[in-house]
Every structure is written in structure tokens, then in C-alpha cells.
Structure 1
């Protein structure tokens, strides 16, 4: 069982905006560029980089995805903060 994970994310308020960003990623847009442009999270300035974090440090839905979701596949995760496009970089 993984103890830590590292991820990038883009946080937006609306599902349709999240879906639009995900479509741009699928067409080859750079995650970090879109994070700087659209993310409402302070991590957006760093290209959405959340660094490495421990299990249980993030809000439940986000945390669950980061420790069970597919690595390197951007996915939309809804939390109380809004819609996150999450790209898990690795788990240790």
C-alpha cells in the first residue's frame, strides 16, 4: 500500500470548465501551462504541482483518487473546493 503520492492538479469551480480543460489535455496541451492559466488554487502558479504528500493529507475524494487512480492519466475529481483535474505522477 502506497504511503505517499505526488500529483499535479488544476482547480476550477465548474464541471464544464473542467471538462473543457481535460479535452485540451487530451489534444496535447501541457498540464502546467493550463494550470497556470485556469487553476484557482495557489499551486496553479507552480504549474499545479502539489509535490509529494502523505495519505490522509488531502480532502477525502482527492486523497482516495491519488492513492487508487490511474497514474499519469488526467481525471476529474469533485470535492468541496470544486472540480480538480488531477494527474498523479507517482506513488511510493
Structure 2
């Protein structure tokens, strides 16, 4: 079972905005560009890059998505902070 991961994310307040960003990603827009433009998280300035982190460091819903969800394919996750579009780059 993976213990570390490297992920990108875009954090927004509303589900509708998150769904719109997902559509833009499917249309070929770059994740980093959308993160810089829309993310309310400080990581948005780095294209949404959260770097490498250990299992259990993030809130439970985010942690589950990162360590149990697909890699590379962006997914929507709801947490107490808002709506995340999460893209897992790798897990080890």
C-alpha cells in the first residue's frame, strides 16, 4: 500500500465552478494554468503543486481520493475547505 504521493489540486468554493474547471480540463486546458487562475489555495501560484506528502497528512476525504483514486485523471473531492480538483501524479 502506498505511503507517499505527489499531487496537484485546484481549490474552489463552489461545486459548479469545480465542474466547470473539470470540463475545461477535458477540453485540453492545462491544469497549472487553471490552478493559477482559479485556485484559492496558496499552491495555486505553483500551478496547484502540493509536492510529495505522506498518507494521513491531508484531511480524510482528500487523503482517500489521493491514495485510493486514479492517478493522472483529475477527480472532484469535497472537504471542509471547499471543492478540490485533484490530480495524483504518482504514489509510492
Give me the TM-score of the superposition, normalised by structure 1.
0.99
Matched residue count: 92
- RMSD (Å), alpha carbons: 0.3
Say which SS state the counterpart of residue 23 (structure 2) adopts.
helix
Report the alpha carbon displacement of residue 51 of structure 1 after superposing the two structures with TM. 0.3
Find the counterpart in structure 1 of residue 63 from structure 2: 63
Q: Are 1:26 and 2:18 matched, yes or no?
A: no
Say which SS state the counterpart of residue 73 (structure 2) adopts.
coil
Q: Gapped runs of 5+ residues in structure 2?
A: none
Give me the TM-score of the superposition, normalised by structure 2.
0.99
- CA shift digits 1:40-79 (9 cap, x unpaired): 0000000000000000000000001100000000010000
Say which SS state the counterpart of residue 61 (structure 1) adopts.
helix
Rounded Cα–Cα distance in structure 2 between residues aligned with 1:78 and 1:40: 14
Moved beyond 3 Å, runs of 4+: none
Rounded Cα–Cα distance in structure 2 between residues aligned with 1:55 and 1:64: 9
Say which SS state the counterpart of residue 58 (structure 1) adopts.
coil
Question: Which residues in structure 2 correspond to 1:9-88 (within 5 Å)?
Answer: 9-88=9-88
Q: Gapped runs of 5+ residues in structure 1?
A: none
Rounded Cα–Cα distance in structure 2 between residues aligned with 1:25 and 1:12: 15
